């Protein structure tokens, strides 16, 4: 699934290309019944027709295209979604789920193999985005804020960091990478982590996200930018999808496990599994 760096790369590429452009008309595939949220597909298309893009933004993994009437066209790529800016002669493949023709002759095309992607057209973007947590490349993402969020949860830290209500935009790739840099085991209970460890996770997350942005995202199979080009960050990953390979820090083999039901990669040398806390004995209790 595209994460924050991939969606932000897409936004940065689209912004100078579509701002000022008008949507002439659109099309939604009948084979994508869950693509449009909140209204029937035809109502959605009618509401976008003749609207002009005035800006772009991003919240977590959501791409927000701002329109001239103050409304927002919001997209979530989910697992395999791709938003492509294509020329009129571009061949339409069977996985095209939505098409939007612009006034300069080009087309915004949403392609999605697995059909998990979603779109909204809303007057108030908070109807879609209101439950999202800390934005990890913003000033609000402080050690204190992260430590407070982790302290409230007994679940493994990997699962907590994946929760979009806690931090918006992190997914499997960058959580594994951030925890490796922080030298924190992914199965460590979140509430047991120290403030120092929370600070190390924050620094690791910011570092891996900024690195991925500079490399235009991580492409394993589905993610491409608006022109169909893959990102180059895969070659810079330290643990994710490197099972059995040597750790770049200590040389131990990277291993794979499950955390919160998600595939998880870590180094057992750098990220030591925490010892179980001793069970407290109640005064006067029998043996």
Q: Are residues 91 and 14 in the same domain?
A: yes
Position 278 in a domain? no
Q: What is the mean pLDDT of residues 194-221?
A: 97
Catalytic site includes residue 253: no
Check 58, 59, 61, 202 and give the catalytic one.
61
Going by pLDDT thresholds of 50, 70 and 90, the confidence category of residue 276 is low
The verdict on 219 and 110 lying in the same domain is no
Q: Is 189 among the residues known to form the active site? A: no
* Domain-embedded: residue 273: no
DSSP-based three-state secondary structure for 195: helix
| CATH code (residue 171) | 1.10.8.50
Give the alpha-carbon dihedral of 90, 92, 97, 101, to 10 degrees. Answer: 40
How far apart CA 246 and CA 238 sit, in angstroms, is: 9
Is residue 3 annotated as part of the catalytic site, yes or no? yes
Domain housing 99: 4-129
**pLDDT score at 284:** 40
What is the predicted pLDDT for the residue at 274? 81
In a domain, 135, yes or no: no
Residue 201 has pLDDT above 80, yes or no: yes
* Domain contains 287: no
165 domain-assigned: yes
What proportions of the chain, in percent to the nearest 5, are helix, strand and coil? 30, 25, 50
The active-site residue, picked from 3, 6, 8, 177, is 3
Give the chain's domain count. Answer: 2
Q: For residues 14 and 113, state if they share a domain.
A: yes
Question: What is the chain's mean pLDDT, rounded?
Answer: 94
Residues 101 and 30 grouped into a single domain: yes
Judge if 115 and 150 occupy the same domain: no
Q: Is 230 a catalytic residue?
A: no
Note whether 184 and 200 are within 8 A (CB): yes
Catalytic residue among 12, 21, 195, 262: 262
pTM given for the model: 0.93
Q: In this structure, what token pair is assigned to residue 118?
A: 């979603």
Summarised one tens digit per residue, pLDDT across range 34-67 is: 999 999 999 999 999 999 999 999 999 999 999 9
Is the residue at 280 inside a domain?
Answer: no
* Domain end (from 129, 159, 174): 129
Convert the pLDDT of each residue in 78-88 to its tens digit. Answer: 999 999 999 98
Comparing 10-14, 87-91, 98-102, 251-255, the range with the smallest average pLDDT is: 87-91
């Amino acid at each position: 699934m595209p994460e924050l760096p991939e969606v932000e790369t897409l936004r940065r590429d689209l912004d100078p290309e579509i701002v000022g452009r008008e949507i002439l008309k659109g099309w939604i595939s009948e084979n994508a019944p869950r693509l449009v949220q909140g209204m029937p597909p035809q109502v959605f298309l009618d509401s976008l027709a003749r609207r002009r893009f005035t800006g772009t933004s991003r919240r977590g993994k959501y791409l927000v295209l701002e329109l001239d009437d103050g409304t927002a066209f919001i997209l979530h790529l989910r697992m395999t979604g791709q938003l492509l800016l294509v020329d009129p002669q571009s061949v339409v493949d069977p996985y095209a789920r939505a098409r939007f023709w612009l006034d300069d002759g080009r087309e915004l095309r949403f392609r999605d193999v697995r059909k998990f992607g979603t779109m909204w057209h809303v007057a108030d973007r908070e109807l879609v985005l209101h439950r999202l947590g800390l934005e990890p490349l913003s000033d609000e993402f402080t050690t204190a804020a992260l430590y407070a969020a982790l302290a409230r949860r007994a679940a493994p830290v990997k699962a907590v960091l994946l929760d979009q209500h806690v931090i918006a935009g992190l997914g499997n790739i960058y959580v594994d990478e951030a925890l490796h840099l922080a030298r924190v085991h992914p199965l460590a209970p979140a509430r047991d982590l120290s403030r120092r460890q929370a600070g190390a996770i924050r620094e690791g997350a910011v570092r891996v996200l900024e690195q991925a942005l500079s490399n235009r995202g991580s492409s394993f199979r589905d993610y491409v930018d608006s022109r169909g080009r893959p990102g180059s960050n895969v070659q810079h990953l330290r643990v994710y999808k490197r099972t059995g390979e040597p750790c770049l820090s200590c040389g131990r083999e990277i291993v794979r496990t499950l955390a919160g039901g998600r595939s998880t990669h870590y180094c057992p040398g750098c990220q030591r599994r925490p010892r179980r806390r001793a069970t407290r004995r109640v005064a006067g209790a029998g043996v």
